[in-house]
Amino acid sequence: MLRMVVLFALLIPVVSAVEEKPFEYRHKGMYREVHVRSRLTCDNKDLHGIPIVTVRLWERDLGTNAFIDSDDLVKVVEVPVNGKFYIAGGEHEMGGVNFYIQIIHKCGGTCREFTFNAGRSVKTEYELKNRGSKYRQCPKKMYPKAP
């Protein structure tokens, strides 16, 4: 019995580490799927008191404004106030796929967006303050003020 308890205690950190991988890519036939986990901070804190942060998963084609074969919006999530988000989605494509993440935020007072490839270089945490280029419109809904 004691051996089982010790073995279980040793496995807990391994299971936790597996759950926290920031990036995972899967494919089956022509279906390609990506899973991204990360945490966003505003001035190195949770997201209290700013407009809701939106994360969008895209599959890159010829651009978001292309007349033919524009980028495909795969999924949109609102990030909780603790900044931790998980987004996943996939596409049926002939040939390769190139997923990317778009983050829309107002940390620092100006509505901004920044993008990064949803690949092995995904970081476990991103600081939002003044990060990205100016964006046309942020959500109006706000996170609650810090207690």
Place of tokens 């990036």: 23
4, 35, 121 from 38: Cα distances, Å: 33, 10, 12
Could you give the percent of the chain with pLDDT greater than 90?
Answer: 65
Here the tokens at position 17 are 């580490």
Each residue of 32-45: pLDDT tens digit? 999 999 999 999 99
Of 126, 144, 147, the C-alpha closest to 52 is: 144
Are the C-beta atoms of 43 and 126 separated by less than 8 Å? Answer: no
CA distance 42 to 17: 25
What tens digit of pLDDT does each residue of 78-99 get? 999 999 999 999 998 877 889 9
20 pLDDT tier (thresholds 50, 70, 90) = low
Could you tell me which of 13, 91, 14, 81 has the C-alpha nearest to residue 50? 81
pTM of the model: 0.81
pLDDT tens for 101-116 read 999 999 999 999 999 9
Q: What pLDDT, on the 0 to 100 scale, is given for residue 16? A: 43
Domains defined for the chain, CATH in brackets: 20-134 (2.60.40)
| Statement: residue 10 has pLDDT above 50 | no
